[in-house]
């Protein structure tokens, strides 16, 4: 994190103290994320925010000319925590392009795997990474007054989770030493085992193919999965009330905290978990099978569900430039003029995008990042909406709740909420949880939704396991259907990566990939100001975030900003460069994780001497 | 500092890279019997469907992916050689039979067919109890009563 006191800026008349604060990099997966802000300590809020990424990987370029059957193996390697989401989405696009429908058993196996992924990833991110922003050590350092209050506040649901006061919850979240932190780590290991049972290995599945899976379905396989699933279900009965108590406390202890990370309600969800009874992977029927998904796809604008139609969603995706290091492709090849239903496809659609990178020096008033600006064209108003995923869960819930379609016993969407029924487990009775549509799209609600989605995934998995077993008992154990790669084809896959919307668009010519554009949630969330000047979601959520932290510029941690950015789940936070004023770059790993102290200068010197053999 | 663990000529730990995938694969027995899968759904050897196991240094099939669970070809996922310096270029397209496999699977095919037939004979023999074990009144176990 770097600080430098900038000159007086005329932001709003007050000669405020505008300080430049940068966190770069924040994440270490899916490129590097740098958040550059200008903070007004006088008005105690973030005046300006730019979101940048300084790594270019070029999947859209090197996939050209490759065998289309290899797409899911290759794109899996886009990400080291959600690679399976990519592999799955790629197989959806391949199935469409090749014209193949996997057997029902394969669909249930994939659904069980993806459910395990959500259970794994949300658990480890929420309770081993986001949780650190709310732990005792962090809260003591940033808002000591709040911690004192936490010591005196009893947890409303202590009878369910066992932590008597909010401070006890915060202590349990301390990295490496906290009891809950450690328990969550153990659970995340178990959920990865569940994934490995279904897809061979995590994070890059080995048993996934276009046309189905190679996993051998047996009673033992599903029993091993269910045994672990029931342990997770029991865990969730404690985890959901624990987080509700923690988050509700923050609203109470810091009035106005709903403004942290708040932005206009513009959410996108591309749907997850296909229903094999309805899904045949054809574009022509995509509207129907999209709606039959067990997480309903949808676009929510200002609290209203604008569409649940994947064809509609598909056609209105636009990739804008403006602040990104690329040349435009308006005059480049048009790969797809019309979709299979005869609708015209825009040149700014991923099917027609040509990626023409143009590396250059970063300039915050011009081009400053490798991320492009995906937007969704709203036919009603002509606006290019900067949709966000809120980290994934909040958008999934909001869309599913409003659509009111999902109803599988364990989960019911009511139109204003989503009810989740978790059955009796080894030492706890059955329980009903309800995620209600919140008033704001802000940091706290994104985090809250994440915990609830862990329970949603567990509940969905219970249903999928039952379906898989009934297929098994009926003798329908085939898991793969054959196909031929056509000479020319197009395909698109829509899925929810852990962090939100994920689409893969492929164009095949001469049996080879002619164009391939994956759009994970990160570009939707982390993008810069587009050519119309609309800022990206991280940027406008962090801008106008008020500062509640009690520290001044000297020991500023930026915890409120970090909570806002991390609520979007920009993958795992790690080391950071500290930039001190006069151009001196000090490499000091300022980890937001306490418990393991940062090396002292003496320790650094000892290691240096050892390495140079002194 | 502790002594270095054994490394191979490419400075990779031998406990991870010392053996090939094939040497640790649960399905290797199918290969030896020339019994090859023709569909990705099958539980048999998947070398003809794109598995590079015989020539890839990796111990995942032996130890599973974690806690003995999962892996690659041992659970139905073709080995794509992802631990190797030649990955991915020398292994693509992944779902095509590796060139060498065509030769070796043909060679083992003939032997395998014969051996499976012979083994099936022996297998049906050892699936029956010895001839003296029956419910007929006469004793054919070789026991002779000598008390009277």
| pLDDT at residue B148 in the model | 62
Query: Contact at 8 Å (CB) between B70 and A201?
Result: yes
Alpha carbon distance A19, A25 (integer Å): 19
Residue of A59, A63, A72, A73 to mutate when probing chain B, most B C-beta within 10 A:
A73
Residue of A80, A201, A216, A478 to mutate when probing chain B, most B C-beta within 10 A:
A201
Stretch among A274-278, A364-368, B68-72, B81-85 having the lowest mean pLDDT = A364-368
| pLDDT at residue A57 in the model | 76
Average predicted confidence (pLDDT) for chain A: 88
Mean pLDDT computed over A454-469: 98
| Omega before residue B88 within 30° of 0, cis | yes
| pLDDT at residue A597 in the model | 52
How crowded is residue A328: how many other Cβ atoms within 10 Å of its Cβ? 14
Q: B88 and A74 in contact by Cβ < 8 A? A: yes
Q: How confident is the model at residue A370 (pLDDT cuts 50, 70, 90)?
A: confident
Alpha carbon distance A262, A541 (integer Å): 5
Alpha carbon distance A346, A337 (integer Å): 8
Q: Which residue has the tokens 């490419």?
A: B10
Find, in chain A, the residue whose alpha carbon is nearest to that of B70: A200
Q: What is the pLDDT of residues A109-120, one digit of tens each?
A: 999 999 999 999
Mean pLDDT computed over A280-291: 97
Residue of B1, B27, B45, B76 to mutate when probing chain A, most A C-beta within 10 A:
B76
Q: How confident is the model at residue A581 (pLDDT cuts 50, 70, 90)?
A: very low
Find, in chain A, the residue whose alpha carbon is nearest to that of B66: A193
Residue with the larger pLDDT of the pair A366 and A184? A184
Q: How confident is the model at residue A592 (pLDDT cuts 50, 70, 90)?
A: very low
| pLDDT at residue A555 in the model | 84
| pLDDT at residue B136 in the model | 93
Query: What are the CA-CA distances from residue A292 to residues A240, A279, A296, A481 (Å)?
Result: 27, 8, 7, 22
Output the CA torsion sign for A77, A82, A86, A88.
positive
Helices (H), A173-284: 179-199, 219-253
Q: What is the pLDDT of residues A38-97, one digit of tens each?
A: 888 888 888 888 877 777 778 888 899 999 999 999 999 988 888 999 999 999 999 999
| pLDDT at residue A19 in the model | 83
Confidence check: pLDDT of A27 > 70 = no
Q: Which two tokens stand for residue A257?
A: 């905290």
Find, in chain A, the residue whose alpha carbon is nearest to that of B1: A610
Mean pLDDT computed over A198-221: 97
**Chain A residue numbers touching B76 (CB-CB < 8 A):** 200, 206-207, 213-216
Confidence check: pLDDT of A598 > 60 = no
Nearest to B93 among A67, A193, A224 (CB): A67
Confidence check: pLDDT of A587 > 80 = no
A232 burial type by CB count under 10 A (0-12 exposed, 13-18 middle, 19+ buried): buried
| pLDDT at residue A213 in the model | 98
Q: A201 and B46 in contact by Cβ < 8 A? A: no
Q: How confident is the model at residue A427 (pLDDT cuts 50, 70, 90)?
A: very high
pTM: 0.90
Would you list which residues of chain A are within 8 Å, Cβ to Cβ, of chain B?
Answer: 66-67, 69-70, 73-74, 189, 192-193, 196-197, 199-202, 204-209, 211-216, 224, 477-480, 482
Alpha carbon distance A141, A603 (integer Å): 24
A278 φ/ψ angles, rounded to the nearest 5 degrees: -115, -35
| Omega before residue A609 within 30° of 0, cis | no
Of residues A25, A26, A24, A20, the one with CA closest to residue A3: A20
Q: What is the pLDDT of residues A374-383, one digit of tens each?
A: 999 999 999 9
Question: How many secondary structure helices (H) and strands (E) does chain A include?
Answer: 18, 22
Q: Which two tokens stand for residue B28?
A: 């290797």
Nearest to A73 among B43, B75, B94 (CB): B94
Confidence check: pLDDT of A586 > 60 = no
| pLDDT at residue A610 in the model | 66
Mean pLDDT computed over A171-178: 95
Q: Looking at this predicted complex, what is its ipTM?
A: 0.93
Q: What is the pLDDT of residues A491-547, one digit of tens each?
A: 999 999 999 999 999 999 999 999 999 998 988 988 888 888 888 898 889 887 899
Confidence check: pLDDT of A590 > 60 = no
Residues of chain B with pLDDT > 90, as a percent, come to: 90
Residue with the larger pLDDT of the pair A580 and A444? A444
Residue of A59, A100, A204, A209 to mutate when probing chain B, most B C-beta within 10 A:
A209
**Chain A residue numbers touching B87 (CB-CB < 8 A):** none
Mean pLDDT computed over B5-33: 96
Q: Which two tokens stand for residue A373?
A: 């600006």
Alpha carbon distance A537, A611 (integer Å): 44
Can you spell out the DSSP letters for A4-47? EEPPP--SSSS---EEEEEE---BSSSS-EEEEEEEETTTTEEE
| pLDDT at residue A606 in the model | 65
Confidence check: pLDDT of A22 > 90 = no
Confidence check: pLDDT of B6 > 60 = yes
Q: B80 and A479 in contact by Cβ < 8 A? A: no
Residues of chain A with pLDDT > 70, as a percent, come to: 89
Alpha carbon distance B41, B49 (integer Å): 11
Find, in chain B, the residue whose alpha carbon is nearest to that of A189: B66
Average predicted confidence (pLDDT) for chain B: 94
Residue with the larger pLDDT of the pair A7 and A474? A474
Confidence check: pLDDT of A15 > 70 = no
| pLDDT at residue A526 in the model | 84
Stretch among A173-177, A442-446, A604-608, B48-52 having the lowest mean pLDDT = A604-608
User: How far off is chain B from A200, nearest CA to CA, in Å?
Assistant: 4
């Amino acid at each position: 994190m770097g600080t430098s006191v900038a000159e007086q800026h005329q932001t709003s008349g007050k000669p405020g103290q505008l300080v430049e604060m940068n966190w770069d990099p924040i994440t270490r997966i899916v490129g590097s994320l740098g958040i550059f802000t200008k903070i007004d300590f006088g008005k105690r809020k973030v005046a300006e925010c730019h979101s940048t990424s300084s790594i270019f990987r070029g999947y859209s370029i090197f996939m050209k000319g490759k065998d289309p059957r290899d797409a899911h193996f290759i794109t899996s390697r886009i990400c080291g925590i959600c690679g399976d989401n990519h592999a799955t989405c790629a197989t959806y696009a391949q199935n469409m392009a090749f014209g193949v429908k996997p057997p029902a058993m394969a669909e249930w196996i994939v659904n069980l795997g993806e459910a395990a992924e959500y259970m794994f990833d949300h658990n480890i991110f929420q309770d081993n990474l986001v949780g650190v922003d709310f732990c005792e050590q962090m809260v003591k350092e940033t808002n000591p007054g709040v911690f004192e209050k936490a010591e005196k506040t009893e947890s409303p649901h202590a009878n369910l989770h066992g932590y008597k006061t909010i401070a006890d919850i915060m202590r349990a979240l301390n990295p490496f030493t906290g009891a809950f932190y450690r328990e969550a780590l153990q659970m995340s290991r178990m959920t990865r085992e569940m994934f490995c049972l279904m897809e061979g290995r995590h994070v890059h599945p080995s048993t996934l193919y276009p046309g189905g899976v190679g996993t051998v379905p047996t009673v033992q396989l599903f029993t091993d999965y269910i045994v672990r699933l029931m342990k997770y279900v029991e865990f969730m009965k404690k985890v959901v009330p624990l987080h509700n108590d923690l988050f509700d406390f923050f609203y109470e202890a810091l009035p106005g905290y709903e403004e942290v990370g708040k932005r206009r309600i513009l959410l996108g969800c591309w749907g997850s978990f296909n229903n094999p009874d309805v899904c045949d992977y054809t574009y022509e029927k995509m509207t129907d099978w999209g709606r039959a998904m067990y997480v309903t796809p949808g676009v929510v604008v200002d609290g209203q569900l604008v569409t649940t139609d994947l064809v509609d969603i598909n056609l209105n995706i636009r990739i804008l430039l403006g602040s990104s290091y690329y040349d435009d492709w308006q005059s480049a090849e048009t790969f797809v003029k019309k979709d299979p239903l005869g609708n015209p496809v825009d040149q700014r659609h991923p099917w027609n995008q040509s990626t023409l990178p143009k590396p250059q020096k970063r300039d915050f008033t011009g081009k400053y990042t490798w991320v492009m600006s995906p937007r969704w064209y709203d036919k009603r108003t002509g606006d290019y909406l900067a949709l966000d995923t809120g980290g994934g869960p909040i958008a999934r819930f909001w869309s599913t709740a409003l659509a009111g379609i999902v109803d599988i016993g364990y989960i019911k969407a009511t139109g204003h909420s989503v009810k989740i029924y978790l059955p009796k487990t080894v030492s706890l009775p059955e329980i009903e949880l309800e995620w209600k549509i919140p008033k704001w799209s802000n940091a706290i609600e994104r985090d809250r939704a994440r915990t609830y989605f862990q329970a949603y995934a567990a509940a969905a998995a219970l249903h999928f396991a039952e379906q898989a077993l009934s297929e098994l008992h009926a003798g329908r154990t085939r898991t793969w259907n054959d196909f031929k790669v056509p000479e020319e084809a197009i395909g698109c896959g829509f899925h929810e990566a852990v962090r939100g919307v994920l689409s893969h668009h492929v164009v095949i010519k001469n049996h080879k990939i002619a164009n391939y554009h994956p759009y994970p949630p990160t570009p939707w969330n982390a993008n810069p100001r587009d050519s119309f000047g609309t800022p990206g979601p991280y940027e406008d959520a962090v801008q106008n975030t008020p500062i509640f932290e009690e520290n001044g510029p000297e020991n500023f941690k930026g915890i409120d900003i970090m909570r806002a950015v991390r609520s979007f789940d920009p993958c795992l936070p790690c080391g950071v460069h500290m930039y001190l004023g006069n151009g001196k770059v000090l490499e000091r790993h300022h980890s937001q994780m306490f418990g393991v102290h940062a090396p002292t200068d003496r320790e650094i010197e000892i290691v240096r001497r050892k390495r140079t053999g002194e | 500092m502790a002594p270095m663990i054994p490394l191979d000529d490419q400075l990779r730990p031998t406990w991870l890279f010392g053996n090939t995938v094939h040497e640790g694969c649960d399905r290797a027995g199918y290969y030896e019997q020339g019994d090859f899968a023709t569909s990705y759904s099958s539980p048999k050897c998947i070398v003809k469907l794109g598995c590079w196991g015989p020539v890839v240094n990796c111990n995942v099939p032996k130890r599973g992916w974690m806690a003995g669970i999962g892996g690659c070809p041992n659970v139905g996922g073709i080995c794509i050689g992802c631990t190797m310096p030649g990955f991915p270029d020398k292994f693509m397209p992944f779902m095509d039979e590796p060139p060498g496999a065509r030769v070796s699977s043909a060679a083992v095919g003939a032997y395998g067919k014969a051996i499976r037939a012979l083994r099936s004979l022996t297998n049906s023999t050892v699936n029956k109890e010895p001839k003296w074990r029956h419910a007929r009144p006469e004793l054919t176990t070789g026991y002779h009563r000598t008390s009277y």
